[in-house]
Amino acid sequence: MKKNYLFALFFTLCFCVDATAQKSDSIVYKPEVHGVIRGKYEYQPEDKAGRFEVRSARLSIDGKVTPIVAYKAEIDLSDEGKIKMLDAYTSISPSEQLRFTIGQMRVPFTIDAHRSPDKQYFANRSFIAKQVANVRDVGLTAGYDFVAGIPMRIEAGIFNGSGITNQQDFWTKQINFSTKLQAFIPGGWNVTLSAQKIKPDHHTIMMYDAGMFYHAHGLHAEVEYLIKHYANNVFQNVHALDAFMSYDIPLKKSMFTKVSPLLRYDYMGDHSDGYKYLNGVINDAGSLIINDHKRSRITTGATFSFNKPFISDIRLNYEKYFYDNNAFAKPSEKTKFVIEVMTKF
């Protein structure tokens, strides 16, 4: 069945490429280099301790080699202190509406987890984006833009389902997929529905996400809900919620172009990463455990922009965490003050 999907996709691609072979060649093929650096300081009053951290130091190169073939490679030199390959893919766009992508990439799933670091509204990601959702994987996707009364976009792909690690020795008989549908409603509204199936170890996991946002006149308001279901009820369903607002206030006669007060509430239930553990170590003889305990958080603060939004920002946040039992709090998941400087080039 999986082979049939791949063959159908291949022949569709061949047909579309042939139909667009006469495209104009007036395209710049010079590679472009981009980067994002995020340096921050956090202080946790409960521990009376603070730390400096380079949260991101990303470098990417992208461009085109033909009118319809594009590429991107991106690494992070400091993903919480580790070097990590993030994106490495080739895209083929037979038309302006249709595109195919193969390689390692962000999966088409959720709203917040799909934001790059420079597009984040807060210094730290929501629980949906950081803990619960599967952000990147290796596979093949297809995307199509169309109009059905309103502009819409559908994306779907098949993936390893194991994330971006252990690619060489990871073999699967499963069809692991991710799909996302967006509706761009006039007036600044976006409605997004997505679903994803993964199998990081021995158990299949299904995730369903629904969200919407309004972005116009300096106001951004967003809400997103995710449910994560483990096959055969080997672990309880995980529910996660993210809701926030941000409002841009232009500034004159200042080194900042605007300030954006913001407020967020997010929540997640007890969560398992899908791997079996025995005595705290991944082991097939073990069972699923709680890797992240149930908690909620209120984040408030403001973002000061030096230029256009998401070019160079200072993010000032206060995060208040709520646990059923404070003993469950991880060392870096406690109430804190955060100051972050983000620069994109």
**What distance in Å separates the CA atoms of residue 327 and residue 265, rounded to the nearest whole number?**
22
Q: What is the DSSP letter of 327?
A: G
Domain spans of the chain, in order of start: 32-344
- Mean pLDDT for 211-227 is 98
pLDDT, tens digit, 9 for 90 and up, residues 51-70:
999 999 999 999 999 999 99
Select from 310, 303, 300 the least CA-distant residue to 337. Answer: 300
- Angstrom CA distances, 73 to 76, 104, 168, 229, 286, stand at 11, 9, 19, 32, 37
The CATH number fitting domain 32-344, selected from 1.10.1060.10, 3.30.70.270, 1.25.40.20, 2.40.160.10: 2.40.160.10
Predicted confidence band of residue 25 (pLDDT cuts 50, 70, 90): low
Q: Which two tokens stand for residue 100?
A: 């195919």
pLDDT score, position 283: 87
Given a cut of 80, is residue 132 above it in pLDDT? yes
Q: Amino acid identity, residue 48?
A: K
**What distance in Å separates the CA atoms of residue 178 and residue 141, rounded to the nearest whole number?**
9
pLDDT, tens digit, 9 for 90 and up, residues 291-305:
999 999 999 999 999
Identify whether the C-beta of residue 28 lies closer than 8 Å to the C-beta of residue 66.
no
**What distance in Å separates the CA atoms of residue 164 and residue 162, rounded to the nearest whole number?**
7
pTM of the model: 0.87
Q: Amino acid identity, residue 132?
A: V
Q: Which two tokens stand for residue 68?
A: 């319809």
Residue ranges of alpha helices (H) inside the chain are 2-19, 127
Element at 205 (helix H, strand E) = strand 205-216
**What distance in Å separates the CA atoms of residue 120 and residue 322, rounded to the nearest whole number?**
23
